[in-house]
Amino acid sequence: MVFNTGHWWVHRGKFKAWDLFEYKGQLVDELKLESAFEVAMRTWANWIDQNVNLTKTTVFFRSISPEHKGQNGCYNKTQPITDMSYVTHFSESLTKIVDRTLSKMKVPVRYLNITKLSQHRVDAHPSVYAKKKGQELIKRKLKPPQSISDCSHWCLPGMPDTWNRLLYASLLLDHPIDSPSLSHLVS
């Protein structure tokens, strides 16, 4: 089983992905970001701990993929960021909640941390070449290109393929190729 969560947690206003939370038996429309995320992660962890059969299932959790905002985002970026000290503005508090949640679980979860790997690939987003209503953003000319660049989704082929290769390698490390459960994956 492979799980992940996304940067939609940090969206506010018209981009907020939810209307209400159930929290301590009450419906609330606003909950501090970290509190909401921790409740969600705890709910997920409890479900995994209660329902997963370890003899038949390996559980993976993929970390949050970063966005590239600020300084024109990903607009006109054609090379990866090579500064190894580069860190995006993405909420480190969410990463700490994931780490803390996974460490308290009864079921072992393989953590595929793709965040740092992906932070450097500012060039791997669709930018102004993303489509909305069937037309590339750049051709719509509604706003300056740097303000409409899609710097949260990823191009294919690209980073998601790298994440899948890491998942595949992890599966092979857990279950050697001669294992009957994975023999169909190798041609």
Q: Per-residue pLDDT for 80 more than 60?
A: yes
Number of domains in the chain: 1
Q: What percent of the chain has pLDDT over 90?
A: 29
Q: Do the domain assignments include residue 183?
A: no
Q: Give domain status of residue 187, yes or no.
A: no
24 in a structural domain? yes
11 assigned to some structural domain: yes
Tell me if 95 sits within 8 A of 66, measured CB to CB.
no
The predicted structure's pLDDT at residue 110: 94
Phi, psi of 52 (to 5 degrees): -90, 130
136 contact partners, CB below 8 Å, separation of at least 6: 128, 129, 130
CA 152 from chain centre, in angstroms, equals: 10
Helix (H) or strand (E) holding 146: helix 145-148
pLDDT value of residue 66? 83
145, pLDDT greater than 90: no
pLDDT tens for each residue of 107-143: 999 999 888 888 889 898 888 777 777 777 666 666 7
Q: What is the pTM of this model?
A: 0.79
- The answer as to whether 186 is a domain residue is no
Higher pLDDT, 21 or 115: 115
**Three-class SS state of 63:** coil
Q: Are strands 21-23 and 26-28 parallel, antiparallel or unpaired?
A: antiparallel
- 58 domain-assigned: yes
Residue 114 is part of which domain span?
A: 2-178
Residue 140's H or E segment, with its range, is helix 137-140
Q: What's the chain's average pLDDT?
A: 82
33-51 vs 92-104: helix crossing angle, rounded to 10: 30
